[in-house]
Amino acid sequence: MHKMPYVLNSIISQLFSEHIYRILALIAAIIMLLINSSALAAVECPVGYISDNFDSKDYTSLAPVVSPPNPKIDQDIVGVKSESYLIVSNSLILDGSLTTTAGSSNTYQSVVSGGTQVFEFFQDFSTVLSTRTVSYTFKNNFTKQPQPLSNVSLSIFDIDTNIAGYDGANRRYFEFFDQATITGFTSTDIPVTPVLKFRGTGISESTPYRQMNTTSNVACSGLDNDCKVSVAFDRPSDPPIVRVEVTYGNNPNLKYYDRRVDRLDDPGDQLIYIKFDGYCYQPQPRLTYKKELSGPRKANTDQFTVQIKDNADSSVVTNGITSTTTRGSGNTVTTGTGTTGTFKVNPTKTYTLTEAIAGTTNLADYAASYVCKNSDNNEVVTILDPKNIKMTYGDNWICTITNGRPNYVFSGIVFNDNGKITNPTKDDVSDKYLNNPLYFNGKYDSPTESGIPFTTGHTITLNKCTGDTSTSTFTSQTMNINPDGTYSFTLTPAQLGSNTRLCATQNEPNNYTYSVDTTSNVRQINITNNTFNYPDNNFGDVIQDNAALVLFKSQYVHDCSLTDLTTISVNYTGSASTVYSTNPISNIIPGQCIAYRIEAVNRGNVPLTDIIIRDTLQKKGENGALVTSTLATPTPIGENSGVPSFSNSSVSIGNNGQVLTNGFPLGITSSDRRRAIRFNTKYGTTVNP
């Protein structure tokens, strides 16, 4: 600010006429207008950051033109890059005192100088040591917490001086001698000194920034480069800052005189201009969400509306966008439809990517898949949950929902249904088997049970079911089971056709170790509308030693006088001459009788049906037999009220042949898991010599 010096005590030493001064000031203003009309280069930023700056509206909102000054807090910054999450507060802090008499100037406001919007800092300090600080604080509009900024750059203009005059001893008195200090602060309130980027030729190289000439006036006006200082907090080692302070005052080493109030040691009114040149921060995350089709629509009138929902309240945040509904037919989505365009999201929230029906669409007719890529490098976002999208500053994603007619998947496992029994024994009916609910239950109990490893020839066939008389066609598919026993068929809608049921069949290899089935080898799969995944079509098998059916044959030797088969007790470990026992018979005499008891036990957890007991009486000359045995009275019986019953083909009394029952079931409870028959035979009366 240019002012003319005066001689104190009415000794006036006029240096310029008022007329000449005004002409020079006008010329200087015109020159500065031309200089500052050109666009300033944007601040250079680290990778992933953007350069932004205050818009002219931001100067006005922060420092309205009012008196006294009324700097504002928490102002939304418009900026020049369409970001929306920076808010700024500015405030004034006085250290000392101001001259407040009529005519004094103490303002802080937004003005246009040289065609550029700036903050005008106009003060009239009452003492040499008085200062006033304007503080700019940056916050995040989403979190309301301090917002770190990098490479903050600003300029101070009109750092000049004005000699008021000289006293009788020719001592020089200044009306003002501007000086300014610029300091940044981190989020932990650690001060940071900026890097000097530009200074007028006469301005000091270090803080406080002021003219070095103390013997004559340094007069500037507006945004004159001669009285300008530009700084930046852009050292690579500089931490981001959340606050900038500009402290304004006078060189304390000089003498001052305020001619307006005729007072020594009192600077007159003075001003500087503050202008922000830019700053860097990570941009608000951006998301483009769009629709694609991998195959033809079910109907050409099927259309889709992509939506982004706020998980906090399930509101659709893209409702105001008109391009979100698709147009097109077949598998074509008309360009510019079915997309949100680039949409800014709140990094403190989570979102759901979804879609809504339009036209005749039934979403159940389509399967959706999602993929998000970084628009900067096309890298795929590897961890993605479309129902829990959370982005951070600097993210710029393009997310695509691709719909297609879903495939049908039929899967299962061939498993060892042994209930994890170790050291199996084929005739063990202890609690090891009877009280193991996972053993032989026809269910895959993971992780207790595991799949049966693949052996050559072990396959699964998917085909139409036997007896299916529908006119639909299907091409049979056969595949090997996987090494872990699993299998899976994937069919397109075209491959499935109009079939409403299919059958999966287990084809067991020759000499199959797990030759006992705990489930049927054929699984019928009923196909229902809008269901595409058919898992758990499992097949259970066990080895022979883990078979559920156990037979115990015990015997009782006697003199053929037995008339009631039920009167003999059962003790498998006893003597065969007194009870039904599984111990061998010794010293049998031809012509004696042997009564037999055959017990069938279901030790598994799946009911068994159509069990038939067959026992062939020995016949001399066959299988090493030395004598022939015949069926003897009393009549054979089933222990459980006649069950099992005997077939009409069973051998009759007095004859040699096969004892044969009718089919009977065995349950899985203590009352129905055991069944037994009893019959009597007469041991032959002659033996080969």
User: What does the pLDDT read at residue 685?
Assistant: 67
User: What does the pLDDT read at residue 18?
Assistant: 35
d(CA 103, CA 260): 9
Q: State how far the alpha carbon of 478 is from the alpha carbons of 452, 461, 490, 513, 538, in Å.
A: 18, 4, 12, 21, 16
User: What does the pLDDT read at residue 295?
Assistant: 87
Using CA atoms of 581, 584, 587, 593 in order, give the dihedral in degrees to the nearest 10: 50
Contact 595, 568 (CB under 8 A): yes
Q: Please state, rounded to an integer, the average pLDDT across all residues of the chain.
A: 92
The residue with greater pLDDT, 15 or 516, is 516
φ, ψ of residue 71 in degrees (nearest 5): -60, 145
Q: Which tens digits make up the pLDDT trace of 356-393? A: 999 899 998 898 999 999 998 999 999 899 999 999 99
Least confident of 30-44, 354-368, 454-468, 604-618: 30-44
Q: Which tens digits make up the pLDDT trace of 457-503? A: 999 999 999 999 999 999 999 999 999 999 999 998 889 999 999 99
Which two structure tokens, joined as six digits, stand for 631? Answer: 């069926």
- The CATH architecture that domain 549-682 belongs to is Sandwich (2.60)
> 147: Cβ–Cβ under 8 A, 6 or more apart, which residues?
85, 86, 87, 138, 139, 140, 242, 281
d(CA 670, CA 193): 89
Whether residue 32 is predicted with pLDDT greater than 60 in this model: the reply is no
Whether residue 347 is predicted with pLDDT greater than 60 in this model: the reply is yes
d(CA 412, CA 414): 7
SS3 16: coil
Q: With helix as H, strand as E and coil as C, how does 81-143 read?
A: CCCCCEEEEEEEEEECCECCCCCCCCEEEEEEECCEEEEEEEEEECCCCCEEEEEEEEEECCC
User: What does the pLDDT read at residue 639?
Assistant: 94
pLDDT confidence tier of residue 612, bands split at 50, 70 and 90: very high
What's the gap between Cα 379 and its chain centre? Answer: 16
Residue percentage of the chain with pLDDT more than 90: 85
User: What does the pLDDT read at residue 10?
Assistant: 37
Q: Which residues pair with 107 in a beta bridge?
A: 122
> 332: Cβ–Cβ under 8 A, 6 or more apart, which residues?
293
SS3 content of the chain, % helix, strand, coil (to 5): 5, 40, 55
Pairing state of beta strands 674-682 and 630-638?
Answer: antiparallel
> Is the whole-model pTM more than 0.75?
no
What's the gap between Cα 546 and its chain centre? Answer: 45
Average pLDDT, integer, range 30-59: 73
Whether residue 428 is predicted with pLDDT greater than 90 in this model: the reply is yes
**Beta-carbon count within 10 A of 320 CB:** 7
Which two structure tokens, joined as six digits, stand for 563? Answer: 């008339």
φ, ψ of residue 534 in degrees (nearest 5): -125, 85
Average pLDDT, integer, range 300-321: 96
User: What does the pLDDT read at residue 626?
Assistant: 87
Residue percentage of the chain with pLDDT more than 70: 93
User: What does the pLDDT read at residue 136?
Assistant: 99
d(CA 362, CA 366): 8
User: What does the pLDDT read at residue 41?
Assistant: 64
Q: Which tens digits make up the pLDDT trace of 502-530? A: 999 999 999 999 999 999 999 999 999 88
Whole-number CA gyration radius for the chain: 50
SS3 526: strand
Q: Which tens digits make up the pLDDT trace of 538-587? A: 999 999 999 999 999 999 999 999 999 999 999 999 999 999 999 998 88
Average pLDDT, integer, range 620-633: 93
User: What does the pLDDT read at residue 589?
Assistant: 86
Give DSSP secondary structure letters for 589-644. Answer: -TT-EEEEEEEEEE-SSS-EEEE--EEEPP-TTSTT-SS--EEEEEEEEETBTTBS
Q: Which tens digits make up the pLDDT trace of 636-663? A: 999 998 999 999 999 999 999 999 999 9
Residue 588, exposed/middle/buried by CB under 10 A (0-12, 13-18, 19+)? middle
Average pLDDT, integer, range 311-319: 96
Average pLDDT, integer, range 262-276: 96
User: What does the pLDDT read at residue 15?
Assistant: 30
Q: Which tens digits make up the pLDDT trace of 580-606? A: 999 998 888 888 999 999 999 999 999
User: What does the pLDDT read at residue 590?
Assistant: 85
d(CA 52, CA 42): 8
| Residues comprising the chain, all counted | 689
Nearest to 601 by CA among 639, 645, 565: 639
Nearest to 404 by CA among 368, 363, 359: 368
Whether residue 255 is predicted with pLDDT greater than 90 in this model: the reply is yes
Domain boundaries, the chain: 18-280, 286-404, 412-541, 549-682
d(CA 602, CA 359): 60
Amino acid residing at 291:
K
User: What does the pLDDT read at residue 571?
Assistant: 97
Q: Which tens digits make up the pLDDT trace of 222-240? A: 999 999 999 999 999 999 9
φ, ψ of residue 501 in degrees (nearest 5): -160, 150
Average pLDDT, integer, range 25-41: 42
Whether residue 672 is predicted with pLDDT greater than 50 in this model: the reply is yes
Q: Which tens digits make up the pLDDT trace of 395-409? A: 999 999 999 888 999
> 452: Cβ–Cβ under 8 A, 6 or more apart, which residues?
414, 415, 416, 458, 481, 485, 514, 541
Q: Which long-range contacts (CB under 8 A, 24 or more apart) does 235-240 make?
A: 235/195, 238/150, 238/184, 238/192, 239/148, 239/186, 239/190, 239/192, 240/148, 240/149, 240/150, 240/186, 240/187
